[in-house]
Structure formats: structure tokens, C-alpha cells
Amino acid sequence: MSANAASLPRDLKPGTAAKLAFFSAIVWFCIGTIYGGLARIKMAYPDFLAGVPWLTFGVLRPSHVDTVILGWITMAFAAAIYYMTPALCNTRLWNEKLAVASIWLWNLGLVVMNATFAGGIMTGIKYHEWTWPIDMYIMFFIMVPLALNCWMTILHRKTKGIYISLWFFAACILMIAVVFVLGSDDMGWNGIASAYMTWWYAHNVLGLWITPVSAAIAYYTIPKVTGNPLYSHRIGHIHFWSIVGFYSTPGAHHLMAAPIPEWLKSFASVSGVLILIPALAFVTNVLLTMEGKWHLFVENPAIQWTLTGVLFAIPLNVQGAFQQTRAINWYIHGTNWIVAHAHMALLGFSTFVEVGAVYYALPRLLGKPLFSVALARWHYWMTAIGFMGFWTALTASGLIEAAAKATNWSFSGMLIAEHPYMVAAVLFGWMIVVGQWLFLYNMIRTATAPVTVPEGRKAVATAAAG
Amino acid sequence: MSGGSNGAGMRYMIGMLAVVVIFATSIIVTVALPIGQMYTMIKPTAQGAYISAQLPKDQGWVASDPLNTGTAGAHLVNGYGGPTSNIGYGKVVFLREGCFYCHTMMVEETKDWYDWGAPEPAGWWYKGRPNVNANERTGPDLQHVGTRLPSKTYLIQHERYPRRVVEADGATNHWMSVMPDFYWLSNNDLNAVVDFLRAMK
Ligand code: HEM
Ligand code: HEM
């Protein structure tokens, strides 16, 4: 392997792909939340931008959701995988060039995807609105390179064991590829099966990709920054195997009021409670790893973000487990309550963990200190307060919608009642949006800052450069 | 396999194999079994049979219809403005404009029937694809809209300027609908989407 690496003098500098992916992800984060922000304004003021065909709610919504999932979360995952896998394997990435090419193609693909949405070219399948050519594109230019790089780096590792994060990376890429194929429109599912497979797919994107890979990232960041070893590998393995075992099963809990087989709904609502096992194992493991280092929660941005995300996972999963029981689901299904849950998941839990990884890894990749810790604090509080306000407003309006649904109240009366909350969601939502611009600015300034070498290390730096 | 000892390499392979086996089991239980049941046991209702005859080919973006024109089954759906039926193209417009993000087409098995009509058995969606059902209900359910609102004139007016049509109520009338105007839709598109809605009985 070392001979192999030496024979590749023209290979890119290690870390190039991770750096590029982190930056691209942040840019898509900004774009994706702007889409969401515009859609939010339309929910409160429907005449806003009315009559512009490529900015209707029906375009903004898929652009928002698919951009934040594919452009921000998944690309930040790729960045983390490209950064953490070689670090944990004590070797270099299997093929840096392939990774860099894949990230550029990925960026191009996101532009094309959003352009097709603006032109109204969509499948009509939630979370999978992109059309089949883009399916192929994602498969061959994004998933395959990512999988090859991850698996081959693990195979060529110079360490003995395999750290828990690597198990997650390797297994989740495999499972998400299968989910992606089975859930795509090209499979031709029809009738009620099409609704079921939409949710089987969407549920597994959340459960076999977003949730476990976020957790794997936290398993890396927290021990690294605190210097504590992971509290328990055994709990980590319980977490891992229960994700593989249970998380793919309750897809039907998104369709509790639909005419799908009854046994399937009961099965989903029981197996859905079982996914509290990985969720709690994860939270326990991370919080116990913090032992003795809790001061870092307020001192270190990477820990601050990651831990906040982990803490949001507690209400998220408890909420999830309750809302999927039939007794509760019929009440809040289809309301903004679910949209609030979705943002607690992807913004409160997952995004906070990834931002933590960015604050940890990007300055290290760039070899420079963070440009401004004050800006990082502003970023944190704007996102955290913005999110909590956003969640509260959506949950409240969801309860209004639910009450209207349960009491057969008039639809327009309900709209009037929830309007103040829709306005609140706009204000808090834009706090989040603007917070991400600070994030991008901070990271650009970090990257472009001149390298300042402390006196004592100058000799080392010149030697390294020469 | 440089680096890690053979034992650790074996563990990696065995671990990944276990993942594959467990996940495959889950796919059998949560995909193969229920999908098999759905395909074999569901019989079309009268409405399901009618609609699936109107939409002989899967509508929306499919391999045979790369420009999303909805003409994949044009010989039967008969294009827009044609003498028989517009509803295939109407479904394409419904998808293209993202109407389904706010309007479910699935009356829930709850107190829904009071407002939106009876919940339907699975045969209602017979062979429909994609089945035009997201989960949010920002606007009313549309599964039985053709029964509830049969007037074509009303629907066309409403699709153009929903916020002026929904029953006004004095001072608060401004907030009677959050549905955006679609006045820029062509007459063909409007006609088609309204025919599609009117067929949703
Ligand atoms: C990283 C940040 C974010 C992520 C990962 C995210 C993710 C999502 C997801 C998954 C959905 C679909 C929810 C569902 O169908 O139940 C959604 C919907 C939505 N999001 Fe976000 N979101 C983020 C930030 C924002 C922000 C900052 C805003 C507003 C300022 C926003 C506004 C919306 C709106 C308006 C919808 C549509 C809800 C509906 O259809 O009723 N999102 N988002
Ligand atoms: C014990 C854990 C969890 C359970 C039992 C659970 C359960 C549910 C249920 C039943 C729904 C659908 C509600 C409805 O439409 O009526 C839902 C929606 C959702 N969940 Fe969870 N959840 C859990 C954790 C998570 C996690 C960890 C994530 C992601 C990181 C997540 C992301 C979402 C999203 C994005 C939606 C919105 C789907 C949509 O309607 O567009 N959930 N959850």
C-alpha cells in the first residue's frame, strides 16, 4: 500500500475532496434554506411572488427538501466520510481524484436537478422528485464513487480494528444504495403499492442514511475533541445492529390512515417503538463520553453544535415513537406537527451534528484557525433560537390543524387561526437562513486568511514547505 | 489487504455479510410480502377501473415520456382539448405544478369522511402511478373533489384566482385561502387539470 501511494506522485493532496465537499455543502445549505424560507413566506403571505411559474410553492418545496437532503446533509456526509475514513484507517483516501471528480459532478447535478424542478419536470414522488436520468446520475457519479472510496480505504487500512463510525459508513452506503434503487420511480410501483414504496424509501433515507451517518459523525467528533475514549463500544454495537435490524421496518408508519394491509400497520407501529433502542443507545453513549469535559459544551464550537444535535435527538425520537401509534397518529397526521418533527430531525438533530463536524474538520483541513469564534457563536444562537421558535410555531399550528380536522371545523377558519403562527415561522425561519450566511462567510474568511505561523514553528513550516 | 491482520479483514467481511443478510430479511418482510399482497389481492373499484382505463400508461415522467408531456398514452388519452378525455394530461399538470404537496388524494380512515367523503379501499388507486399522494394537507383533500365540486366553471375560476373565489367572509376574507393564483396557466392546462379533478369521484 505504501509503495502504491508513493507511485502516485500526481495524486491530489490528501484532504482535497473533503475540503471541496465541505465548502460545496455549506453553499448548498445556504441555497437550500433560502428555498425553504421563500416557501415559508408563501405559507403566510400567499401573494408573495405569486404568478412566477418557477417560484411557486410546488417548485420551491421540492427544491428546498431535495437541496437540503442531497446538497447539504448528504454532501456533508460525503465530506465527513472522505475526511474521517482515512483518519480512522490511518492511511490516505483510496482515490482522491475520483472523490474530487465526484464532488464536482455532484454540484453540477444539483444545479441540473433544481433547473428541472423549476421547469416542472418532477416525478411527483416525495423525497424523490428528481427524474430517472438524475437517478442514474446519482447512482454512478455520486454513490458508486463514495462507496468505492469508503470500502477500499477500509480494506487498505493500517489499523487493526474497525472503529464504530466506519461500520456505519460502510454499511449505510450499501443499504442506502439498495433503498435508492427499490424506491425509484423506475421500479414502476403502481396503485397503493406506489404510495407504500414512496414511504418505504423515504423512511429508509431517514433511518438508514441520515440518522445513522449523523450518529457516526458524532461518534468521531466527540471523542476526538474531548480526548475521552468512546464510553462503550458495546453500546455502539448495540446501536449499530439495532439500526440494521429494526430501522428499515416501520416504513408503513407514514401511512397509518391509508388502505394498506392492516398487519403491516400494526407491525410498523410496534417495530417503530423498537427504533428507540438505537436512538437511546446512541444518546447515552455520547453523553457518557462527555464525562468530565462538559465545560467544552460552552467553550468549543464543534462540541457545542454536536452535543446540541445529540440532545435534540431525545425529544425527536420520543416524539416519533408516540406519534406513530394509531391512537395519536390519526390526530396529527398531515398537519404542520409532522413538518415540525421533520425539521427537528433534519435541522435540529442531523444538521447540528454536521455543522459540528465542519467546525472540527474544516480548520484542520485548511491548516488555519477559525476566522472568528464570535461569528461561530452568532451562527449557533441564530440557528438554535431560530430552530426552537420555528419548531414551536409549526407545532402550535399543527395542533390547530389537528383540532380543526378532529372537530370538522371549517378549513378557512383554521387558516385564519393558524396565520399568526405562520408569520412566526417566517421570522424564526429567516433567522436560521441568515445564520447560515454568517457560517459561509466565516468559513470563507477562514480559508482565505493568510497563514500566520507562530514564531517558534517558523523553521518547521519553512522546512515543510521546502 | 495490507495493514490490518487477516482476522480483522475477515471480521469486516463477515460483518458486512451479516448486514446484507439482516437487511435482506427486512426487505422480504417489509417489501416482498406486502407488495405481493397488494398486487395480488387488490381488486379495482368501479372508480379505480374507470381511472386506470383513462390513464392507460403511467403518467408523469416515465422512460417512454422523457419530456413529461403526458402523451405516453396519447392514442387513448387523446391529447389535450381532444374529444374524449383530458384527464391524463390533467394529472401531469397536477404533478408539474406540485399541487399534490398541499392536497392529499386520500381520505383518511378517521373522521375525515365528514368533510371529504368516504375513505376508499385500495382498489380506488388501481394501477395509478405515481399515486399523487404526499402527506401534508395544507389544502383540502381532493379524492372526491369531483363529487363535492362538480362545476367546471367554478373550478376553472378557482384554479386561476383561488384567493378571490373562496367564499368571502367580510373583513377576514383576505385569509380565506392560502392557495396561490395559477392565472398564468394556459387554457389547455387549466381545462385538463379541471377535467382531472372532476374525474376524482
Ligand atoms: C438544514 C435545514 C433544513 C432541513 C434539513 C429541512 C428539511 C425539510 C424537510 C425534510 C421538509 C419536508 C417536511 C415534510 O414533508 O414533512 C421540509 C419542508 C419545509 N421546510 Fe425545511 N428544512 C430546513 C430548513 C428550513 C428553513 C430554514 C425553512 C424556512 C425558513 C424551511 C421551510 C420549509 C417549508 C416551508 C417546508 C414545506 C412544508 C410544507 O409542505 O408544509 N426549512 N424541510
Ligand atoms: C423513534 C424514532 C422515530 C419514530 C418512531 C418516528 C416516527 C415518525 C412518524 C410516524 C412519522 C410520520 C407521521 C405522519 O405522517 O403521520 C414521521 C415523520 C418524519 N420523521 Fe420521524 N420518527 C422517528 C425519528 C426520526 C428521525 C431520527 C428522523 C431523521 C433524522 C426522522 C425524520 C422524519 C421526517 C423527515 C418525517 C417527515 C416525513 C414526511 O411526512 O414528509 N424521524 N416520523
- A225-239 pLDDT per residue, tens: 999 999 999 999 999
* More confident: A428 or B158: A428
Best mutation target among B6, B12, B179 (most A Cβ atoms within 10 Å) is: B12
How far does the CA of residue B191 sit from the closest CA of chain A (Å)? Answer: 18
> Same domain, yes or no, for B107 and B37?
no
B160 and A CB contact within 8 Å: no
Work out the pLDDT band at A54, boundaries 50, 70, 90.
confident
Q: Does B59 score more than 70 pLDDT?
A: no
Residue A152: C-alpha distances to residues A191, A219, B59, B85 (Å)? 41, 21, 41, 55
Best mutation target among B41, B43, B61 (most A Cβ atoms within 10 Å) is: B61
Which CATH number fits the domain that encloses residue B125? 1.10.760.10
Q: Does A453 score more than 70 pLDDT?
A: no
The pLDDT score that the predictor gives to residue B79 is 34
Work out the pLDDT band at B6, boundaries 50, 70, 90.
low
The ipTM, to two decimals, is 0.88
What is A300-347 written as a DSSP string? -HHHHHHHHHHHHHHHHHHHHHHHTSHHHHHHHTTSHHHHHHHHIIII
Q: Which atom of ligand 2 is nearest to the CA of A254?
A: 12
> Same domain, yes or no, for B161 and B63?
yes
| pLDDT tens, position by position, A313-351 | 999 999 999 998 888 998 999 999 999 999 999 999 999
The pLDDT score that the predictor gives to residue A457 is 58
Tell which residue, B88, B98, B104, has the closest CA to residue B188.
B88
Given an 8 Å threshold on Cβ–Cβ distance, is B12 in contact with A155? yes
When pLDDT is averaged across residues A279-291 and rounded to a whole number, the result is: 96
* Mean pLDDT, chain A, integer: 91
Q: Minimum-distance ligand to the CA of A323?
A: 2
Q: Which three cell numbers stand for residue A226?
A: 474531548
Tell which residue, B65, B126, B68, B127, has the closest CA to residue A122.
B68
Q: Does A310 score more than 80 pLDDT?
A: yes
| pLDDT tens, position by position, A135-156 | 999 999 999 999 999 999 999 9
> Same domain, yes or no, for B22 and B63?
no
Q: Does B193 score more than 90 pLDDT?
A: no
Residues 82-101 of B with CB under 8 A from A: 95-101
B106 DSSP 8-state letter = -
Which CATH number fits the domain that encloses residue A248? 1.20.210.10
Pocket-forming residues, ligand 1, beta carbon under 6 Å: A 33, 36-37, 39-40, 43, 61, 64-65, 68, 72, 338-339, 342-343, 346-347, 351, 429-430, 432-433; B 101, 136, 138
What is A341-366 written as a DSSP string? HHHIIIIIIIIHHHHHHHHHHHHHHH
Domain that holds residue A284: 3-465
How far does the CA of residue B185 sit from the closest CA of chain A (Å)? Answer: 9
Residue that has been written with the C-alpha cell 426552537 in this structure = A388
Domain that holds residue B143: 44-198
Work out the pLDDT band at B106, boundaries 50, 70, 90.
confident
Given an 8 Å threshold on Cβ–Cβ distance, is A412 in contact with B121? no
> Same domain, yes or no, for B92 and B168?
yes
> Same domain, yes or no, for B22 and B48?
no
How far does the CA of residue A342 sit from the closest CA of chain B (Å)? Answer: 12
> Same domain, yes or no, for B25 and B102?
no
Q: Minimum-distance ligand to the CA of A273?
A: 2
B196 and A CB contact within 8 Å: no
Q: Does B175 score more than 70 pLDDT?
A: no
Q: Minimum-distance ligand to the CA of A72?
A: 1
- The domain total for chain B is 2
- The domain total for chain A is 1
Total residue count of chain A as it appears in this document: 466
* Mean pLDDT, chain B, integer: 75
The pLDDT score that the predictor gives to residue B171 is 43
